[in-house]
Structure 1
Amino acid sequence: MHILVTRQIREAEAFSKMLKNKNIIHSILPSIEIKNIKISEDSINYLLNSDILIFTSKNSFMSVKDIMKNVELNTKKIITIGLPTKLLIENEGYNVEISPKEEYSSEELIKIIKGKDIFNNKKISIIKGEGGRSELQDYFASCNYKYQDIICYKRLAPSNAVSDLDDILKKTTHICITSADIIKNLVGIVGKDKLKKFILIVGNDRIAKECNKLLGINNFIVSRNPSNEEMLETILKTNE
């Protein structure tokens, strides 16, 4: 087994350390870049005056961290989609009140918060990336809750070509896919026909469906969620 890690460089390097600790042979091919977006003054004011902050990813928190440094976040309710984002925020000393424990998705978060009387007459900020999914917004709109999207970063295809791509692919047997954007970018980087030859270790069922739609294959190993910890656990089980 030779794993190809495709996350953005910061997360890829963290995952690489975890794989090395388990003596798992791997290469890194970052297939997505994250770039912060300048947030409008109106959005910043709404964010600072919000009662509830929903962070959709680690990137969403990191992108607004400096803006929030003069705000007492413990006076606000913080909600995250997924344990990695929750742990990141808690490591900064803040309390996260609600976060899905296993399936890291908007749908799972909606199941948890549905019917909870914490959003009435509250200002809600959904901190997210450009072009992100709209399930949360649709839910809040259907409940007539007051919310605003705070778009703070965008996902880009890698800006630099990989000179040793063929050498990397020759030794690769399994490719980790942790987002729909990554598989879309990989189609452009590697090519659809070449990707079909590998076993894909995907972060959840939704990502598997996106891979199936793009590649027309079902050669997947599906993790419980796309966190580094769960992806590693899935790899270890596959390698038994």
Structure 2
Amino acid sequence: MEASLPLKNKWIVNTRAAHQAQPLTEKLRDAGATVINFPLLEIDAPENYEDVEHQLSALEQYDLAIFISTNAVERTLDKVDVSTLKKLKLACVGKKTGLALKKHGLDSDFCPERFFNSEALLALDAFQQFIPGKKIALIKGEGGRDLLQKSLLKWGGDVDSINVYRRTCPQHNLALLKNHQQRQELDIIILTSGFSIDHFFELADKHSETAVANSNNKSNENNWMNSVTLLLGSERLKSHIPDSFKGKVIFAEDPNDDTLLKELTIDNKL
């Protein structure tokens, strides 16, 4: 029975956006974990939505549409008919994004089989050969890395970014997590994007500054974070971890739910 519940008595924080957290939460609970849902990401409409709608209305003019995330797929198909996308070549950065397209009856022409990120897509020979001279719509959220766009331009692509959503952080402090940690009810926090990591540490700094201002015990306020273990969605995300963090950090190969679960169970990193 214990082997079938490898995460029994473990408290794990799921920081995925609320509308995307349930599948991972269910997998963790099925493995015996107690899950704290603490979304650090919320998906909102872009501020210049009229401009984005205008860009999407001209999507037929492109040779290739690249989707950076499942959110990019869903936000686009809220405004664009499937028949329009069927006229284009489609690319995505990972399996979940490809499945989001498949749900709407669309197949991705370029999708990495593992290591689901921009680097993996750029490494595909067929993708590289297709790019020169093509008009490309890079469909994404506001901000994020510019690696993909820079590479496409370098290879001779004509690239337009279409930012169909923006990321915001719905949390205002880390008091809930600190309270769990003080009750020994916090083993690991899962962070799967640079945005989530950045805002996690911004909230940590804010919480520490507020607490220190109202406390004579500065060391305790600064040290609670260092007893926390972080599971990151890929090793490239380690650049978002500040040097001041002294807690344990472990990495999954990619941010997919099954890969995260494997890192916690089969590899027994807790």
Give the TM-score of the pair, scaled to structure 1: 0.89
Deviations 1:40-81 (A, max 9, x none): 154224434212110011111111112222534222111000
Using a 3 Å threshold, how does the CA distance of structure 1 residues 231 and 35 change in structure 2: closer, same or farther? Answer: same
Amino acid at match of 2:112: P
SS in 2 for 1:117: helix
Q: Which moved more, 1:124-133 or 1:17-26?
A: 17-26
Q: CA deviation at 1:160?
A: 5.8
1:139 aligns with 2:139: no
| Residue equivalent to 2:120 | 108
Using a 3 Å threshold, how does the CA distance of structure 1 residues 165 and 24 change in structure 2: closer, same or farther? Answer: closer
| Residue equivalent to 1:27 | 36
Amino acid at match of 1:29: F
Q: Give aligned-pair identity as a percent.
A: 22
Using a 3 Å threshold, how does the CA distance of structure 1 residues 195 and 183 change in structure 2: closer, same or farther? Answer: farther
Using a 3 Å threshold, how does the CA distance of structure 1 residues 214 and 148 change in structure 2: closer, same or farther? Answer: farther
Unaligned runs of 5+ in 1: none
Contact 1:4 1:29 in 2 (8 A): yes
| Residue equivalent to 1:150 | 162
Contact 1:6 1:31 in 2 (8 A): yes
Give the TM-score of the pair, scaled to structure 2: 0.80
Amino acid at match of 2:263: T
Amino acid at match of 2:77: K
Deviations 1:111-141 (A, max 9, x none): 1147743234322100011112111111121
Q: How does 1:1-240 map to 2 (within 5 A)?
A: 1-37=10-46, 38-40=49-51, 41-69=53-81, 71-113=83-125, 116-158=128-170, 164-170=176-182, 171-191=185-205, 193=222, 194-211=224-241, 213=242, 215-217=244-246, 219-237=248-266, 238=268
Q: CA deviation at 1:239?
A: 6.0
Using a 3 Å threshold, how does the CA distance of structure 1 residues 115 and 96 change in structure 2: closer, same or farther? Answer: closer
With a CA cutoff of 8 Å and minimum separation of 6, indicate the structure with the bigger relative contact order: 1
SS in 2 for 1:207: helix
Report the Cα distance in structure 1 between the residues aligned to 2:171 and 2:17, rounded to whole angstroms. 12
SS in 2 for 1:185: helix
Q: CA RMSD in A?
A: 2.3
Report the Cα distance in structure 2 between the residues aligned to 1:231 and 1:159, rounded to whole angstroms. 23
Report the Cα distance in structure 1 between the residues aligned to 2:57 and 2:200, rounded to whole angstroms. 37
Report the Cα distance in structure 2 between the residues aligned to 1:229 and 1:21, rounded to whole angstroms. 12
Contact 2:41 2:196 in 1 (8 A): yes
Using a 3 Å threshold, how does the CA distance of structure 1 residues 11 and 42 change in structure 2: closer, same or farther? Answer: closer
Using a 3 Å threshold, how does the CA distance of structure 1 residues 65 and 172 change in structure 2: closer, same or farther? Answer: same
Report the Cα distance in structure 2 between the residues aligned to 1:83 and 1:39, rounded to whole angstroms. 30
Report the Cα distance in structure 2 between the residues aligned to 1:77 and 1:181, rounded to whole angstroms. 29
Q: Which moved more, 1:82-91 or 1:67-76?
A: 67-76
Q: Which moved more, 1:84-93 or 1:182-191?
A: 182-191
Aligned length: 239
Unaligned runs of 5+ in 2: 1-9, 209-221
Contact 1:196 1:215 in 2 (8 A): no
